[in-house]
Structure 1
Amino acid sequence: MAATRLIALHINKGKTVGQCLADRTDYSQNEKKTDNGKYISAYGCDPRTCDEEFLFSKRQYEHITGRHQAHDVIAYQIRQSFKPGEVTPEEANKIGYELAMRWTKGKHAFIVATHIDRAHIHNHIIYNSTSMDCTRKFKNFFLSGMAVARLSDLLCLEHDLSVIDRRPYDEREKRTDFPKRPTYRDSICEAIDAALQKKPKSFEELIHFLQEDGYQYKPGKQPALKGPDQKRFIRFRSLGEGYSVEELAAVIAGNAEHRSKFQSKNRTGTGSMQTQNSRRMSFLIDIQEKMHEGKGRGYVTWAKNFNLKQRAEAMLFMREHKIESFEELVRRADEASGQADDFLNSVKADETRLQEIAVLKTHIVNFSKAKPVFDAYKASGYSKKFFEEHRDVLTLRRAAKKAFDEYLAAHPDQKSLPRVKELNAEYAEILSRKKKNYQSYRAVRKENEEWQIAKSLVAAILQEETRQEEEQRRQQNQEKSH
């Protein structure tokens, strides 16, 4: 287990760049802390003269590029602390060297000094902010400290060391819990919840209860409410799920159940999956196939390192999810896949039903509008001339009649067609359910992808171990035969 921290080193007030570099490097290479310099390694520089080499590269950078920054970062330091008793100084220095090499990609000179003067062995990694070719500077990006920690965890796994259990931000305990400031929309939703408790018999009565509480109502195409302290009206449709005019009307009519938005905020279930740490795993690269495609040695080297990192990511994934065996991993992956399929099937079924309701409502409206024309057509003795004059309306009525017959044939338990009001209530209920299931499906789909990739990676690791064991057994048999 290793804790890391990335620190940008600047020029101290009253000192030169050379003095600051010498102070930092001298402290890291303290003989008492490194067993007389035994646990010091370097890349692209000599540990004894690294401060001068760093300074020289910066002067070369200014000469080549012509750039000069007043408040420049002169170097970066990575502190890597290991769990007491888990690693030797030699191994700690080796891990620190690998961390610096991977982090800088071999483009920046660095030194690694392993301190053994504390109960916990720790590394001081100092790398030059200027590249070795003196043409670029290291670009410190957003959340780079977390990237260093992730890379350090991967290296610890590769060396069979433990890693820190980093919980997602949402699962951490907050030191100070500040009360959330209520919004105008939350206040209106609370007022609507209280008004619904009074069991209004109509939407108009619901509005009456709200007006008694001091709210102003603005009818029209987009009905809206305004509280006593509000400056502007807020539309019902912008209050969130369950608070639109159609949804509230369905609740009042008894065709749907009202769900307060404040209850849904405390809900647990599939939404908790979104708080899990998103990983960046990927399937392994088939190196042999890429070589047949004409890839060179450089790509092969990169692909081997990439596959090694993905295997380490998979082992880290299993450790974070407390999985002890491949069988348990397969079971959890199958559960995630089945859950994603269930949500997807539910969304597709709801989409089909929504289309059926929309088509049926259209036919009902067309049939109703065509009634006066059909009555006149019937009174004319079904005149062909009248039919040709009103062909469009009568054709829509005929199509609607055919659709009604097919609907009643498909639903033998229903003796008559549902009313438009009932269809509207059903449509609102199904639409609300579909939105929730689709949000859950998106969260579960991402998690399912991670489980499937992890299963594939671990299966490849086990297959490689089996192949190595068979190869070792074959060599032993050959040695015995000789």
Structure 2
Amino acid sequence: METVIFIKEGRQNRSAMRAVINYCQQEHKTYDSKSKRRLVSGVNCDGANSFREFMATKKVYGKDNGMFFYHYAQSFSPTEKITPEQAHKIALEFAEKAWEGHEVLVATHCDASHIHSHFVINSVGFESGMKLRQSPSTLKHLRKLSDEICLAYGLSVLKPYESGGKRMSTREYRARMKGESWKQKLANDIDKAMEFSGSKDEFICSMSILGYHMTWTDERKYLTFHCPNGRSCRDIKLHDDKYLKDNIERELLQREFPDGEKQPTGWEDSRELYEQHLRERALAKAELRRVAESYS
């Protein structure tokens, strides 16, 4: 999976911009041992000399004040099959389309399990002298553009937000891309429990085996998951409609009564079928316990 995040920089001045550029260009982070080259480039500038060129542009237009620069990152999941060189190529294509008329430093870091590229954008356009402006929809537009480029390369992207869900924070995006998000683990465990559940009671039991308990009542609109790590999470904060209470209930009801009947038929009339069902559920629970034990 890939995504783009905006990294908010609290300090906006000459020294802060230099510090961010120096961080992004660190050799031990940008050196790719496979291609044997540093993955530092520039769009509309020389990446290695980006600080000097950024400052020269600002001085030409008398705009070395206010907002100095913007900082973004494009990250790939550790499970994504992509090389640092490929990630850098994609990052350059993205930067060229995302910030036309602006100088952009592009630096790909390959020292961590998740390959990611940093973009430092000069706030002043080198041709127009106009400052780059952002709106609440800017990040949404950039993610859409990045997704289109990555899909063209055959790479996976994060699902778009479903209607009704809470917006995912930058911190959570970073955690998900590193495989460290507890909410992502919760979602994965819900998926696993659903594999072994044919009814609401079985789902509750399956989640209990994995260490969860739930606040699930008719009076409450949301389903709340209480996790083994002591945290709690409402269904609406998992960023996918399939985890919403109504959708889980509907799916489990369809599994329990596939023909829409009020009472299940077949088991009462056939002891053999009923015993076979019990054996299948026992095997399913044993497998689920094995999965749970693998976490510990």
Q: Tell me the TM-score normalized by structure 1.
A: 0.32
Distance 1:108 1:171 in 2: 34
Distance 1:172 1:19 in 2: 36
Distance 1:90 1:166 in 2: 27
Q: Provide closer, same or farther for how the CA distance between residues 168 and 30 of structure 1 changes in structure 2, counting only shifts above 3 A.
A: same
Equivalent residue runs for 1:58-457 within 5 Å: 58-62=58-62, 69=65, 72-84=66-78, 85-105=80-100, 107-133=101-127, 135-171=129-165
Q: Does 1:45 align with 2:45?
A: yes
Gaps of 5+ in 1: 175-265, 267-482
Distance 1:130 1:8 in 2: 18
- Higher share of residues assigned helix: 1
Q: Does the CA contact (< 8 Å) of 1:11 and 1:73 recur in 2?
A: no
Gaps of 5+ in 2: 169-220, 222-296
Distance 1:173 1:82 in 2: 20
State the Cα distance separating 1:43 from its structure 2 match. Answer: 1.6
Structure 2 equivalent of residue 27 of structure 1: 23
- Higher share of residues assigned strand: 2
**Larger relative contact order, structure 1 or 2 (CA cutoff 8 Å, min sep 6):** 2
Q: Does the CA contact (< 8 Å) of 1:2 and 1:81 recur in 2?
A: yes
Q: Does the CA contact (< 8 Å) of 2:39 and 2:107 recur in 1?
A: yes
State the Cα distance separating 1:139 from its structure 2 match. Answer: 1.1
Q: Does the CA contact (< 8 Å) of 1:8 and 1:75 recur in 2?
A: no
State the Cα distance separating 1:18 from its structure 2 match. Answer: 3.0
> 3-state SS of the aligned residue for 1:57?
helix
Larger Rg: 1
Distance 1:45 1:136 in 2: 17
State the Cα distance separating 1:33 from its structure 2 match. Answer: 0.5
Structure 1 equivalent of residue 5 of structure 2: 5
Quote the RMSD (CA, aligned, Å). 3.1
Q: Does the CA contact (< 8 Å) of 2:43 and 2:95 recur in 1?
A: no
What percent identity do the matched residue pairs reach? 29
Q: Does the CA contact (< 8 Å) of 1:11 and 1:74 recur in 2?
A: no
Q: Provide closer, same or farther for how the CA distance between residues 122 and 156 of structure 1 changes in structure 2, counting only shifts above 3 A.
A: same
Q: Does the CA contact (< 8 Å) of 2:104 and 2:121 recur in 1?
A: yes
Q: Tell me the TM-score normalized by structure 2.
A: 0.51
Distance 2:60 2:128 in 1: 6
Aligned-partner residue type, residue 104 of structure 1: W
